[in-house]
Amino acid sequence: MTFTYVDVGIVALYIVLIFYSGTLMNKYIGGIGDYLVADRTMGFHLGLLSMMCTEIGMITYIYYAELGYKAGLSSLVVAFPPMIVYFILGRTGFIIKPLLEMKIMTIPEFFSKRFSKGVRFYVGILMAVGGILNFGVFPGVEAKFINTVTGIPQQHVLLTMVILLTLVLIYTLVGGMVSIILTNYLQYALLSFGMIFITVYGVYVIGWGKIVDSVIAGMGEKGINPFFPSLFKGEFGVGFIIWQLLMWTAILVAWQAISMRLFSSKDSKTGMKIYSWSGLMFLSRAILPIFWGIMAFAYFTEPVDSLEALPLLIKAIIPSGILGLIFAGLLAASMSTYASYLLSWSSIISQDIIGSIIKFITGKEASAKNQLIISRLTVAAVMVFIIWWSLFHKLEGYLYFYLQMTGMLFLPGTLVSIGLGIYWKKSRTAGAYLAFTLGALPPLLYLFISENLKNAWASRIGWGGFLLAFVGMVVGSLVQNMLSPKNVEEAAS
């Protein structure tokens, strides 16, 4: 189907509504607390809704659909680790409960409280680099997606990116977290409708039988059995599952866009409840888009670019009118993800890097007003960088793995340092430095190796990063304890 004037009208109406609500919310923004965590006023359902809006973006659909298109039904296995980890953390409060009770706004704050300000600064830099390299591919990939669905020629991808990001920038700078929470409501209504409609209508048009037959004919046993040829040698075998369980534990603890949602909840009980239920939602968040990729594989008789498979499928099967609504839902998903990621990564830069430098030079914290100005300027700077990165970085291997590896520049060190920092009294500053440094080496290697090696070694590089971070923390802490037995940091605090 083609994008008609009715579809354009629906999308335009949606954008007007979003901006109107954003400007209404501006009056509620007083200080940095309101701007970043909505002054901890979020209840359970709103928290869950907001979490889903942040973590479902157009990019989510694209990388999951790419997995489905390339790896078939087997790739559905990637949906289980996040569900399991969410459920365990939410039920037990492991790591997240102590963090919630500390009432911190960003994860690096934990490091200055538990280790030293130097660790906080170091973590802030790694988080900013990893987070922005991760975020940096969003605009390019999504702009191509938008152009494919709407029929805009691909040579205008830069223009699409600039328009998309300008809309998000205005919307984010106007209202901060309060406006995000309100507009998330409208966005969730649209994106959930879109997800349900594409799945049901896709199965209706293509048929379950044809989907399964196409996967078996095109991919063989590998397309339906994630552990083929064996439990240890399969692309999604034991090594992959271990990596993913560790990775998702780290993401749920330390991914700024997710942990900000956790810190915005009104108490630790609400935060834990949000996590328990998010598990179920995250299962669908992965299963449905992966399934769309599999449907695209069955629908197109000729091979298409794996990142283009989903937009081409949407354009091919969704009727006009509904297409506008679905597109507004996709745009909605992206707007909230961009807004939250911009806020979360810029809060790391403004609070943990620039804030630390200002305090080091002047000897005191920046005023609330100045913090807000710095935060807003950082948002704009991050925006310029991601446009540049989107234009010049060439993606190789699964997009899903690229996104996870950029996050892994800080996630293994963060998980190990937070986990052992909370539960192991002998953990020390040297251990934290070593954990972050060693944990970042394998993913750094991943970014530079060839595409074939990337696919073959991803799982080993993944769990290897966590293992090295753990070794770094234990060795560093033991050595520091041996050389200076008295815990200077504890004495100082």
Partner 1 sequence: MSAWTIFWGLVVLFSLLSFTYMSVRILIKSIAELKSMFRTLDEKRKAS
In the list 102, 224, 447, 478, the residue contacting partner 1 (rule: CB under 8 A) is 224
d(CA 316, CA 308): 12
**Residue 196 binding partner 1, by CB under 8 A:** yes
Contact segment (CB under 8 A) with partner 1 among 154-162, 179-187, 235-243, 329-337 equals: 179-187
In the list 6, 84, 102, 284, the residue contacting partner 1 (rule: CB under 8 A) is 284
In the list 170, 280, 380, 384, the residue contacting partner 1 (rule: CB under 8 A) is 280
d(CA 473, CA 490): 17
Contact segment (CB under 8 A) with partner 1 among 45-53, 110-118, 314-322, 393-401 equals: 45-53
> Facing residues of 265 across strands?
42
Residue in this structure with the two tokens 């504890």, named with its chain if needed: 490
In the list 11, 73, 349, 418, the residue contacting partner 1 (rule: CB under 8 A) is 73
Please name the amino acid found at residue 309. A
Neighbours of 471 (CB within 10 A): 16
DSSP state of 366: P
Query: How many residues at the interface with partner 1, by CB under 8 A?
Result: 42
**Residue 276 binding partner 1, by CB under 8 A:** no
d(CA 116, CA 378): 24
Please say which residue, 9 or 31, places its beta carbon nearer to partner 1: 31
Nearest distance in Å: CB 288, partner 1: 6
Please give the distance of CA 228 from its chain centroid, rounded to a whole number: 29
d(CA 18, CA 20): 6
Give the three-state DSSP class for 296: helix
d(CA 73, CA 61): 16
**Residue 146 binding partner 1, by CB under 8 A:** no
The secondary structure of 115-143, three-state, reads CCHHHHHHHHHHHHHHHHHHHCCHHHHHH
Contact segment (CB under 8 A) with partner 1 among 40-48, 377-385, 406-414, 450-458 equals: 40-48
**Residue 283 binding partner 1, by CB under 8 A:** yes
**Residue 185 binding partner 1, by CB under 8 A:** yes
**Residue 189 binding partner 1, by CB under 8 A:** yes
Instruction: Find all residues with CB under 8 Å of 32, minimum gap 6, and list them.
Output: 105, 351, 368, 371, 372, 375
**Residue 42 binding partner 1, by CB under 8 A:** yes
In the list 21, 199, 455, 487, the residue contacting partner 1 (rule: CB under 8 A) is 199
Please say which residue, 34 or 109, places its beta carbon nearer to partner 1: 34
How many residues appear in the chain? Answer: 493
- Inter-residue contact 183 to 336 (CB < 8 Å): yes
In the list 63, 86, 255, 277, the residue contacting partner 1 (rule: CB under 8 A) is 277
In the list 79, 180, 254, 309, the residue contacting partner 1 (rule: CB under 8 A) is 79
Give the three-state DSSP class for 265: strand
CA atoms within 13 A on the CB side of 484: 12
Please name the amino acid found at residue 6. V
**Residue 44 binding partner 1, by CB under 8 A:** yes
Nearest distance in Å: CB 203, partner 1: 8
Nearest distance in Å: CB 208, partner 1: 7
Give the three-state DSSP class for 42: strand
Please say which residue, 65 or 474, places its beta carbon nearer to partner 1: 65
**Residue 21 binding partner 1, by CB under 8 A:** no
**Residue 317 binding partner 1, by CB under 8 A:** no
Residue 337 token pair? 């993800």
In the list 13, 17, 26, 30, the residue contacting partner 1 (rule: CB under 8 A) is 30
d(CA 29, CA 17): 20
> Facing residues of 42 across strands?
265
DSSP state of 425: T
Nearest distance in Å: CB 49, partner 1: 5
**Applying CB under 8 A, which residues contact partner 1?**
27-28, 30, 34, 38-39, 41-46, 48-49, 52, 73, 76, 79, 178, 181-182, 185, 188-189, 192, 195-196, 199-200, 208, 212, 216, 224-225, 277, 280-281, 283-284, 287-288, 291
